[in-house]
Amino acid sequence: MNILIVDDEPLALARLKRLLTSLNHTSITQASSGSEAIELAAQYPFDIAFLDISMAEMDGIELGYALRYHHENLSIIYQTAHENYALKAFDVGAVDYLLKPYTAEALERAITRVNVKPKELRLISKAGDNHYLLTPEVIFYVKADLSEVIFRSDEGFSYYPKKISDVETLLEPYGFLRIHRSYLINLNRIKEMETIDQSRLSFTFDGIKESIESSKEGAKQFRHSFKGTTI
């Protein structure tokens, strides 16, 4: 298990590393700032990140969003001397929240939660300075945009830093279908379908007024997925 620890206080960083080592964790990388942590995460695959919240350059909440935006499978555990950040920490999708000074036993329990946490897919997307933690069911459709995609969700429009082919693989188990080279749709949120030009389909969704049109091949794929259903 590869662990990243981030704290701008050298003593706190040293203590956390010592506690982790006492629990037989040896693959530990440390960073003393948010920018350093982001650089390290771009180079190495980490399983867990322990983040301090109150840091001068970039606080742990902002850092958590930045890390999860590019590494959605990263498990985050916050450690802080303050109780009042707990709700914000869990908004990031944190596995646990440790109050300093914590014991080796509390640290071990937090790591155990990482190992047993359910494999629920949650995706962090971005719109301007805002981040959104999305589950597949709140997404209506996905639109390709160069090397990224745009999610249309209950939260509005937001960007996700993967190509549509990668997102297609990620979301296929959750009822998403490619109906156009530029679009994936959530089959569970379709309201109505209408045939256009005799060979393509137009889809509308529950909850929004927009419609998405398929390609001829996309309509064919959709019909193939629902053999036996008259469309």
- Domain end call among 90, 116, 142: 116
Largest CA distance in the chain: 70
Is residue 181 a part of any domain in this protein? yes
The domain in which residue 186 lies consists of 124-225
Confidence of residue 230 (pLDDT cuts 50, 70, 90): very low
Q: Is the pLDDT of residue 114 over 90?
A: no
Residues 96, 14 share a domain: yes
Is residue 231 a part of any domain in this protein? no
More confident call, 87 vs 147: 147
Residues 129, 53 share a domain: no
Confidence of residue 92 (pLDDT cuts 50, 70, 90): confident
Distance CA 46, CA 4 (A): 6
Residues 135, 96 share a domain: no
- Domain end call among 59, 87, 116: 116
Residues 86, 7 share a domain: yes
Residues 153, 51 share a domain: no
Residues 140, 87 share a domain: no
Distance CA 66, CA 124 (A): 9
- Domain end call among 55, 83, 116: 116
Q: How many other C-beta atoms lie within 10 A of the C-beta of residue 121?
A: 14
Residues 10, 112 share a domain: yes
Distance CA 138, CA 25 (A): 37
Is residue 142 a part of any domain in this protein? yes
Q: Strands, E, within 105-155: which ranges?
A: 123-127, 130-134, 139-145, 148-153
- Over residues 5-34, the mean pLDDT reads 95
Residues 156, 96 share a domain: no
Is residue 230 a part of any domain in this protein? no
Question: How many domains, in total, are found in the chain?
Answer: 2
Distance CA 215, CA 178 (A): 10
Confidence of residue 109 (pLDDT cuts 50, 70, 90): confident
Here the tokens at position 208 are 């929004």
Residues 149, 62 share a domain: no
Residues 185, 87 share a domain: no
pLDDT per residue as tens digits for the range 116-151: 555 578 899 999 989 998 999 999 999 999 999 999
Instruction: Give the CATH number of the domain where residue 193 resides.
Output: 2.40.50.1020
pLDDT per residue as tens digits for the range 47-69: 999 999 999 889 999 999 999 88
